[in-house]
Amino acid sequence: MTMAGEVIYSTFNFSQAGVNTAAKPPDNCEDVTYSQVNLKTSTINQDGTPVAPSNELKISETESKEHPFRKKILVMLCLLFLGTVLTAIICISIWVSTRDTLCKMVTKLQDCQSEVTLNSSLSHCWLILSTNPTRVQNNLSNNCQAGPQRFDHFGCAPGNEGFTSGKHYWDVHVGNSNLWRIGVITESAERRKEFLMTNKKGYWVIRNNNNNYTFFTDDENALNLSYQPNKIRLYLDHEKKQLSLCAMDNNSINAYIYTYKDINTSEKLYPIICTGDTKEITINPSCKT
C-alpha cells in the first residue's frame, strides 16, 4: 500500500549473454536466455524525489551507533589491563629498591671493635658457650637444672649488651645448622616454658626449622627462601625502629631476607640466638654509628 502523493515504479535490468540491454526486453521473451535479472522497487514523491526505505535507514543508524561503542569498550579494557600491569611493575620496583637500599646501608658500615657476647647466666642450661662467649651449641642433655631467670624450654642464649639508640649490626654464622632462631628480644621478654615467639612476647626473630623459614608477628608466617643462608647480618636501626636481615657471602651481602618494621618498645633490645642441634653457631662483633 502506498500513501497519497506517492508513485510506485519498477525498473528492470536485463543482461543477455554477451549483450547489455537497458531498454525494454524483446517482443519474444521465450527465445532469449537471460543470465541475470535485477529488480529494484523504489518509492518516489510527486515531485520526483525518491523516498529512502525506512527499514534500511534504521538498520544503518543502529549499526553506526553500535560499532564505535564496541570500540570504546575494547579501548577501556586495554587501558585497564595496561594500568594493572604498570601498577604491579611499580610496586615490585619499589620493593626491590627498598630491599636493595637496606642491604646497601648495611654494607656501608665498617667493622669495629665492640662485640656482642652471649649471656651464660640467662641461657638454657643445655647450651655450651665458649669462653669469650661468642660461640654456642646445644648438647641436648637433660642433666641440668634451669634457674628462675634462664630459658627452660627453648635452647636460647640472649646477648649481654642491650641497645637503646643508634644503629648496630652483627653477623651470625649458622653454618649447617637446620634448627635455629636469631633476632632481638626485649629485656622483659618471656623466657619460661613453651610459647610462640611473637612481637607481643618481646621477640623479633626468624626461624629455621629444617630449612622451613618463618618470621613472627601475631602468628608464625612463612618466608619463601630459595637458598640456605649460612651467615646472616642483622642490622638494627633504633631511630627507624627496624631490624633487617640479609644473607652474607663472605663479607658481602648476598640476598635480602626480611625486615621487621615498627618495633614499638622503649626497652633495651638484646641480640638472641636459639639452637636446637649440636652444630656450633657463632656471633660476630657488632658496630654502632
pLDDT tens per residue, range 126-184: 999 998 899 999 988 767 777 788 998 899 999 999 999 888 889 999 999 999 999 99
Which of 162, 159, 148, 231 has the alpha carbon at shortest distance from 193? Answer: 148
CB atoms within 10 A of CB 117: 18
Lowest-confidence pick of 13-22, 82-91, 106-115: 13-22
Nearest to 204 by CA among 225, 235, 226, 239: 235
Q: What is the pLDDT of residues 130-146, one digit of tens each?
A: 988 999 999 887 677 77
- Model pTM above 0.75: no
Could you tell me which of 279, 274, 271 has the C-alpha nearest to residue 115? 271
Asked if residue 34 has pLDDT above 90, the reply is no
> Is residue 9's pLDDT more than 50?
no
**173-201 in b/e burial notation, b at 16+ Cβ within 10 A?**
bbeebebbbbbbbbeebbbeeeeebbbee
- Mean local confidence (pLDDT), 46-62: 53
Q: In what order do the strands lie in the sheet with 127-129?
A: 127-129, 135-138, 281-288, 167-173, 231-237, 242-249, 252-260
Question: Grid coordinates standing for 20?
Answer: 547489455
Residue 202 CB: number of other CB atoms within 10 A?
Answer: 19
**Among 260, 235, 238, CA closest to 246:** 235
The pLDDT, as a whole number, for residue 4 is: 46
pLDDT of 265 reads: 92
117 compared with 226, residue with greater pLDDT = 117
Q: Is the pLDDT of residue 267 over 80?
A: yes
pLDDT at 284 over 70: yes
For residues 47-57, average pLDDT: 54
What is the rounded distance in angstroms from the CA atom of residue 275 to the CA atom of residue 26? 112
DSSP H or E segment with residue 80: helix 54-108
- What is the mean predicted confidence (pLDDT) over 38-51? 54
Report helix, strand or coil for 116: coil
Rounded CA-CA distance 51/34 in Å is 30
Q: Report yes or no: 44 and 51 within 8 Å, Cβ to Cβ.
A: yes
* pLDDT greater than 60 at residue 249: yes
pLDDT at 38 over 50: no
Q: Give the alpha-carbon dihedral of 53, 56, 62, 64, to 10 degrees.
A: -100
Collapsed DSSP state (helix, strand, coil) of residue 239: coil
Burial class (CB in 10 A: 0-12, 13-18, 19+), 254: middle
215 against 166, higher pLDDT: 215
pLDDT tens digits for range 56-100: 444 445 555 556 677 778 888 888 888 788 777 776 665 555 555
**Contact present, 170 and 271 (Cβ < 8 Å):** yes
Cell output for 98: 627498598
